[in-house]
Chains A and B, each alone.
Chain A
């Protein structure tokens, strides 16, 4: 076993993760290797010294000062805490949103029903007017094919014929 392997085993032993066979291998190596014995001793020595470190005495007023600070934090300073605000104001905000939705809903006039394709075709065939010009829809960037078709059908039929005749 090399010293490097022994150090790895030493780590396992210190962590309490070594089986009997590897424990024996390690101690066989330690018996014949002064450097690794020194390493193992250093680990144990330092651990023992640190575990015996005398405790710092806590100031007698530690808890009282902390209680005062916590009272201050959870007092008016606590109002600035966004979590406090969001938890307590969320129901009020939700109610306001619902109320605003109801008011807006009442103010709006009932939406006109969209024209059906058959109605538009009928209007077009009878030469009816009062529909939007073709270009107003065709120039819209997000016009769907259906909307464009409806608009073309609803436009005065003679205008289209004239254009086609001109092209020819």
Chain B
């Protein structure tokens, strides 16, 4: 395993150094907010869930044993927080139906039909991608987001989700097949940079 670049900040944080923990927050806040946004497709929820993630991490950092990197551990905490939120949201929807905000989002046009002229706009592209991800079953959404949006490798995702690596690969493979038609409008876009494929 590679040495953890966060090791010294983590040690100081575990000893109660608030500045060290603040440095870790600065380093990872964008990643955690984006993970939450991609998995919930909701800006307000993403901010709240990211806050909750850091609060839990702060409380538990003394028990971080260094079996993985801090980055992997922190994202595992985030995934747990987000999964718990998604379960509550699903329960709420079962009992009370979608909220007014959610009804508004559902009334928007299909991602695949978004006007090409707007696709260069960051917010539109992001929303289109997040809505496509939201159409996936939760387990596929989490796996493909961790891989393709966050850039974790298969082994890290398997460790984070506590599932075999073959299951991770299979979920990501199936997720991409499902997403292909939903993201058709973005595939040929000039903003789609050549990047990771795998």
Asked if residues A66 and B186 are in contact (CB atoms below 8 Å), the reply is: no
Q: How large is the interface on B (under 10, 10 to 19, 20 to 34, 35 or more residues)?
A: 35 or more
Does B161 belong to the interface (CB within 8 Å)? no
Residues in chain B near residue A54, CB distance under 8 A? 122-123, 125-126
Q: How large is the interface on A (under 10, 10 to 19, 20 to 34, 35 or more residues)?
A: 20 to 34
Q: How far is the CA of A56 from the CA of B22 in the complex (A)?
A: 20
Does A45 belong to the interface (CB within 8 Å)? yes
Residues in chain A near residue B10, CB distance under 8 A? none
* A46-B148, A51-B196, A56-B126 known; A69-B55 Cβ under 8 A: yes
Asked if residues B192 and A49 are in contact (CB atoms below 8 Å), the reply is: yes
Asked if residues B169 and A43 are in contact (CB atoms below 8 Å), the reply is: no
Residues in chain A near residue B122, CB distance under 8 A? 54
Q: How far is the CA of A56 from the CA of B33 in the complex (A)?
A: 7
Asked if residues A11 and B169 are in contact (CB atoms below 8 Å), the reply is: yes
Asked if residues B198 and A53 are in contact (CB atoms below 8 Å), the reply is: no
Residues in chain B near residue A15, CB distance under 8 A? 154, 165, 169, 198
Residue in chain B with minimal CB distance to A67: B22
Sort A-B residue pairs by CB-CB distance and give the 10 closest, nearest first.
Answer: A50-B148, A54-B122, A51-B195, A42-B180, A46-B176, A44-B197, A14-B198, A56-B37, A47-B197, A45-B187
Q: A residues touching B (Cβ–Cβ < 8 Å)?
A: 7, 10-11, 13-16, 39, 42-56, 58-59, 62-63, 65-67, 69-70, 73, 81
